[in-house]
Amino acid sequence: MGEEHRYLFIDFEFTMPEKSGRYKGFYPEIIEAGIVSVSNDQIRDKFSSYVTPVRFPILSERCKSFLHISQEQVDQGITFLELIKKMKELSGNYPCTIITWGNMDMKVLRNNCQQVGLPFPFKGKEIDLSMEYKRFFGDQNQTGLWKAVQEYGKEGTGKHHRALDDAMTTYNIFRLVEKDKRYLEKPEPTTIGERVDLSKLLNKFA
């Protein structure tokens, strides 16, 4: 069989423009990455780092206050190229299943790769767990990550809007949802033929 199938639970934090600011050509860039690599139901690796933005290197006040990330932290972060290399390494260059909460993480990663001319680092299936959760529970609206955890009567891991903590929380919800799915996959009900001995029944009428 070789390599076990890998699941990567990923969360990114991105740059944000000032509400009033006119950032010409602004697009969100990854400034923090959290990745949890899982195979055989075991956490194999965890990765967390700040990332230096390329196009808009100076963080907006709104971004700093919302995410509690300082300019110094991103200035000392790894480059986007180093992040791509790390993600390839974590995937083992095999097709793996990428799981995120919401579809923004992969959209921003794809766009960031395009902007700097780097190939997208992943092969394999991408799952937006918030949509799975919505379908599974029949919710009208998409639920926020930490609200979803609380609906399970649990607490999120660490701090919300810390990339690795959010990636771990996504992994924990994935496990809870999978467990519930298995619980709901009850065996097929028995047919009437199995419950009633038909031969006895037919003899009666013979």
Residue 149, pLDDT score: 72
Where do the H-state alpha helices sit in the chain? 61-67, 71-75, 80-91, 104-116, 129-137, 145-151, 163-184, 192-195, 198-205
- Catalytic-residue membership of 194: no
Residue 133, pLDDT score: 82
Q: Are 11 and 67 in contact (CB under 8 A)?
A: no
Which residue out of 126, 132, 151, 161 is catalytically annotated? 161
Calculate helix-pair angle for 129-137, 163-184, nearest 10 degrees.
40
Find the mean pLDDT for residues 186-194.
55
Which residue out of 13, 68, 72, 185 is catalytically annotated? 13
Topology at the third CATH level for domain 7-205: Nucleotidyltransferase; domain 5 (3.30.420)
**88 three-class SS:** helix
User: Is the pTM here over 0.75, yes or no?
Assistant: yes
- Catalytic-residue membership of 161: yes
How confident is the model over 86-131, as pLDDT tens digits? 999 998 877 899 999 999 999 999 999 999 999 999 989 999 999 9
Dist CA 96 CA 98 (whole Å) = 6
Dist CA 55 CA 13 (whole Å) = 16
How confident is the model over 35-86, as pLDDT tens digits? 999 998 899 999 999 999 999 999 999 999 999 999 999 999 999 999 999 9
